[in-house]
Amino acid sequence: MQKVLVTGGCGYIGAHTIVDLINHGFEVVSVDSNIRSTTQLLEGVEKITGKKVRNYKVDLCNLEDTHAVFHENRDIVGVIHFAALKSVGESVNDPLYYFQNNITSLVNVLKCIKEFNVPNFVFSSSCSVYGNTTALPVVEETPLGEAQSPYARTKQMGEQIIEDYSRVNNTQSILLRYFNPVGAHSSALIGELPLGKPDNLVPVITQVAIGKLPKLTVFGTNYPTRDGSCIRDYIHVMDIANAHTKALQYLLEKRNTDNCEVLNLGTGNGVTVLEAIRAFEKVSGVKLNYELGEARPGDVIAIYANNSKAREKLGWTPETGIEDSMRTAWQWEVALRDRVLNN
Ligand code: NAD
Ligand code: WQD
Q: Tell me, using a 6 A CB cutoff, whether residue 5 lines ligand 2.
A: no
Contact 229, 301 (CB under 8 A): no
Alpha carbons 30 and 56: distance in angstroms, whole number: 6
Q: Whose CA is nearest to atom 4 of ligand 1?
A: 11
- Res 170: pLDDT: 87
Residue 188 falls in which region: left (phi positive, over 0), alpha (psi -120 to 50) or beta: left
Q: Whose CA is nearest to atom 35 of ligand 1?
A: 124
Q: Residue 297: what pLDDT? A: 85
Long-range contacts of 37-43 (CB under 8 A, 24+ apart): 37/8, 37/10, 37/11, 37/193, 37/195, 38/10, 38/193, 39/10, 40/10, 40/193, 41/10, 41/11, 41/12, 41/14, 41/15, 41/190, 41/193, 42/9, 42/10, 42/15, 42/18
Q: Which residues contact 301 (CB under 8 A, 6 or more apart)?
A: 223, 224, 225, 230, 231
What 8-state DSSP symbol labels residue 132?
A: S
Using alpha carbons, select from 106, 111, 104, 116 the residue that is nearest to residue 73.
Answer: 116
Dihedral of the alpha carbons of 189, 194, 200, 202, in degrees to the nearest 10 = 30
Dihedral of CA 283/286/290/292: which sign?
Answer: positive
Mean per-residue pLDDT pooled into runs of 10, the chain (343 residues): 97 98 98 97 98 98 98 98 96 96 98 98 97 92 92 97 95 98 98 92 98 97 96 98 98 97 98 98 98 92 97 98 98 93 76
Compute CA distances 279 → 290, 322, 331, whole Å. Answer: 14, 7, 14
Coil/strand/helix, residue 16: helix
**In this predicted structure, what is the pLDDT of residue 172?**
98
The residue contributing the CA closest to ligand 2 atom 18 is: 218
Buried b (16+ CB within 10 A) or exposed e, 318-335: bebebebbbbbbbbbbeb
CA 296 – ligand 2 centroid, Å: 9
Closest CA to 113 of 173, 30, 178, 53: 173
The burial of 134, by beta-carbon neighbours within 10 Å (0-12 exposed, 13-18 middle, 19 or more buried), is given as exposed
- Predicted pLDDT at 195: 87
Amino acid at 31: V
Report helix, strand or coil for 285: coil
Closest-CA residue, ligand 2 atom 34, reads 230
Mutate-to-test residue for ligand 2 from 273, 275, 289, highest number of ligand atoms within 8 A of CB? 273
Q: What is the pLDDT of residue 267?
A: 98
Q: Are 147 and 129 in contact (CB under 8 A)?
A: yes
CATH 3.40.50.1820 correct for 3-184+234-267+308-318: no
Does any ligand 2 atom lie closer than 6 A to the CB of residue 275? no
Q: Quickly list H helices, the chain.
A: 12-23, 40-49, 63-72, 88-93, 95-98, 104-115, 150-168, 201-210, 237-252, 273-284, 308-314, 322-342
Please tell me the distance from the alpha carbon of residue 323 to that of residue 284, in angstroms, as a whole number.
10
Whether 33 lines ligand 1, by a CB cut-off of 6 Å, is yes
pLDDT recorded at residue 133? 86
CB 199 within 8 A of CB 88: yes
Ligand nearest to the CA of 12: 1
Q: pTM of the entire structure?
A: 0.98
